[in-house]
Structure 1
Amino acid sequence: MKRFCFALAAILTMAGAHANPLDHGDFVSIPTRAGVTQSLFFATPAQKPAWVIVLFGGTPGALHLGPNGATTLKGNFLIRSAQHWIDDGEAVVLVDTPSDHTEGVDDDFRYGKDSVVDTQAIAAKVRERFPEAKMAFVGTSAGTVSVGNAMKRDAKIADAFVLTSPVTVSRKGDATIADLDTDGTQNRVLVVANAGDQCPSSPPDVAKRLAQNRHYAYVEVNSNEGDSNGAGRCGGHSPHGFLGIEMDVLKAIQGWLKGQGSGN
């Protein structure tokens, strides 16, 4: 079994930890299901990218994309730190919710067939734009349900899958990825968890067990910065959202995508 275990303990200043959300790129809308469209925002580095990173934000998923990128959910870990992918030379795609769910989606929708149809249309558009690049689906929190569902139903839809702060414990009976039955020896999958995560839906020990049982690579970070109490426990500005260690987490993911630091 191949695993990638990487412990991080860096504490960065708030000024150095955040990047501005993407605001320069190409806003497009593509058809998916009958009468339904899907909005995307493409941002491309100056050089030819080796990877295209498709980002699936957490609850409620609605970015209300426009010509200048996301107008809502800017505090989400993946959305607020998206510029770091461009700085590293990768292309980025921000994924909005579909036109029949403009205000957001729940986890049951994310785990359903319609979600996969939308995601397949997204993947086809990305392949059309970047035919020579590899594609990674990266989700955080509830966004991991979208990524896990796509991987489960269409294993070849992307070249790599990254699940950060994965939702593994049900919220009011909603779907999770705790029973994800894809094997890491067949799919390239990375799980990233924060030991300081206090969100009831994403306990780090369950994420680690999921990775071990499914032969996924695993990265564990350790930071308690931000709100760890009340409703904020599952928000972007908390350990659940890797507050203050965004750069470290993204560098670990980038290194894994590039095949650096693999372990046994």
Structure 2
Amino acid sequence: MPHPLTALPFPSPVPPGAGWPQDPATRHTRRARSAAGVSRAAAGAKDIPELDARVSVCSACPRLVAWREQVAAEKRAAYADEPYWGRPAPSLGPPDARILVVGLAPAAHGANRTGRIFTGDRSGDWIYAALHRAGYATQASSVAAGDGLELIDVRITAAVHCAPPDNAPTTQEKATCRPWLERELALLEPHLTSMLALGGIGWDAALAAARGAGWQVPRPKPAFGHGATTTLMAPSGREVRLWGSYHVSQQNTFTGRLTESMLDEVIAAL
């Protein structure tokens, strides 16, 4: 049986409030149900709010839909009394952001639970704390979607907008989700000056989306690494600098592969 949040007409039957996001979609929001549908829905989004709404109701990848809804129905014991979003997590941040951060995908019990990207898990604690230290976020923690956090001049997105099993989207799932990022780049391009890719998947997604959006991307493909950087050129002639950072996953932060100072140095260069 489908999870109730996705079985019922949009918007979500769970009302917004403390800890719950305002639903960007309505019952009239166009819903993509296939890879071709994603391409059409993304291309037809006239602005960032419409793009976010369409992302939030996407059901194009059967494996991801099944997994996100299973997690939302079964829940983690610590959150057994909480509603789960159980849908794609749209991007977060102002539509005229100068910086775009590209992550991997929502965490099963993070954004898939809270409805806000990088919120409710340890990875989010790291990226929002770093953005706060740099003056790009109004607070240093990300507990719930209604906790008052706002981004300043920065927008955060992901290579894939649904939580994948084992945090590993397939090649096809990444390709299916790519038009959302391509359209986001096109809409942000008049203001965008820098991008930050978190991890190799974020790096590859940023390069592939830029190329798909008609941007000039260096060849051969620039290699990912912490502190790696390359210049992309938008169709308007605007240069956008892409930076790489190790992902803010616990695998990297707990082992010391990524430290606060390493992350701060990259963000300071944006």
Q: Give me the TM-score of the superposition, normalised by structure 2.
A: 0.43
Larger RCO: Structure 1 or Structure 2 (Cα < 8 Å, ≥ 6 residues apart)?
1
Structure (1 or 2) with the greater strand fraction:
1
Q: Give me the TM-score of the superposition, normalised by structure 1.
A: 0.44
Structure (1 or 2) with the greater helix fraction:
2
